[in-house]
Amino acid sequence: MTVVTRFAPSPTGHLHVGNVRTALHNWLLTKHHGGRFLLRIDDTDAERSREEYVDALKADLAWLGIEPEGEERQSARFAIYEKAFARLAEAERVYPCWETPQELELKRKVLLGRGLPPVYDRAALAIPEDERTRRIESGDKPHWRFLLDRERPIEWDDGIRGPQRFDPAQMSDPVVRRADGSWLYMLPSAIDDVAMGITDVLRGEDHVSNTAAQVQMFEALGAPVPRFAHEALLTGTEGKLSKRLGSMGVAQFRDAGIEPAALVALLGRLGTSDPVDPSLDMAALASSFDLSHFGRAPARFDEAELERVNAAVVHALPYEAVADRLPEDMDAAAWEVVRPNLARVAEAQDWWRVVTGTVVTPALADEDRAYVGEAVQVLEDTWGESPWQGLTGALKVRTGRKGKALFLPLRLALTGMDHGPDMAALLPLIGRDAALERLRAAAAWEGP
């Protein structure tokens, strides 16, 4: 059987880090089995759904390299829901209810006060059929619940959590349709999964109780139940996902200079026992994706780790992959020089200014200024194929300096910084004339 998964976001906002992880894991599961990954836009909430969010989430998925092989919109499928709903009504698996929210809340409080689970008492089922019909025909619109079969337990073998068992007698019949005719999540989702041929549903553990009800919905629809797997939710380093991070969209990661490969590498392994490996591409991640590697412990999203992974990804990027994001006159050789010092591609601009721009003359001690003055004399005579080696080799002989005392004053004079790319590679980019000018300025510097 071909594996078919789906990602079903509601277009009421931008994709955040948890959404991205869900989409990525479904894509990886599909590709591991050579199946199909589908996108379903759950836009039944007409008031909150926005087309701009649909466009944004598609762009976000594309940026990450996640390409759906089909797309559906729930707003275009209402006729399908109506037909399935009519069949369920005829089979008496959905029933009308007229309790107000206030009445339901009062019932809930009474049950909790007695130490009982707040399970709906099915009072609406006691309304005679003719009374139900009369109320509906008179315009007294009900909300609708799905009638759970309480005669047998609900069971499934979860791909991550293992065997699951729910007692439907301890569950309320879920509301599936509001009095205004609009749909809640669970029934349309099940109907769509049947119609779209979804074989595997991989989602967060906060949906486990929804799955228990949906198992019976699939059965009532006369359809096979998909394989379900529920992964642990993301948390932050403090034990829970912060509001800021939980709402952080893909565009914010992108604007912050995070590479898509870094986000994919980290999120692809979060929640599993597999190590995060920045060198793995999407294909390699998919080939190693295995639900048996997931644990029950919360999956911690660490921004510091994302930074580390991003730097590793940047360090491996070829010039061709970043050329359009580099300064116009920065060539492949220059990229190779500065790349090991970057945490983000955008930082190449800063190092290119060190090469081509004006360097702030550092304040050096008197003995270091004299030393840099000697460097001017040496460099005027020793510039060759390896100017840094020639310069430092000659100065070591002339001054007896070595180690930090030999190299640091020169780096400060030539770059204005005490760290950076290998000077042996950087000095040829700076060039003889600019290097001499900077050394002379540092040797002559006497303070503001």
**What is the mean pLDDT of the segment spanning 8-30?**
94
Average pLDDT on 325-345 reads 96
Whole-angstrom Cα distance, residue 25 to residue 373?
60
Banded model confidence at residue 237, pLDDT cuts 50, 70, 90: confident
* Integer CA distances (angstroms), 178 to 36, 57, 96, in order: 33, 28, 10
Q: Smallest Cα–Cα separation from 345: which of 367, 378, 361, 323?
A: 323
Is 243 known to sit in a ligand binding site? yes
Is the per-residue pLDDT at 181 higher than 90?
Answer: yes
Distance of CA 68 to the CA centre of its chain: 16
Cα–Cα distance for residue pair 241/247, rounded to 1 Å: 9
Distances (CA, A) of 302 to 23, 125, 188, 256, 307: 19, 50, 35, 15, 9
Which residue in the block uniquely carries the two structure tokens 């359009």? 324
Return the beta strands (E) in 258-346 as ranges: 299-300
Q: What is the DSSP letter of 247?
A: T
Distance CA 285, CA 306 (A): 17
137-171: pLDDT as tens digits: 999 999 999 999 999 999 999 999 999 999 999 99
Q: Is the pLDDT of residue 247 over 90?
A: no
Closest CA to 76 of 218, 196, 213: 196
Instruction: Set out the domains of the chain in order of their start, with CATH numbers.
Output: 326-354 (no CATH), 366-444 (1.10.10.350)
pLDDT for 114 beyond 70 = yes
**Entry pTM:** 0.90
Return the pLDDT at 448. 58
pLDDT band at 245 (very low <50, low <70, confident <90, very high): low
Find the mean pLDDT for residues 101-119. Answer: 96
Q: What is the chain's length? A: 448
What is the spatial distance between Cα 284 and Cα 289, in angstroms, rounded to a whole number?
9
Q: How far apart are the first and last CA of the chain?
A: 77
CB-based contact 187:217 (threshold 8 Å) = yes
Inform me whether the pLDDT recorded for 242 exceeds 70.
no
For residues 421 and 340, the answer to whether their CB atoms sit within 8 Å is: yes
Per-residue pLDDT at 1 exceeds 90 = no
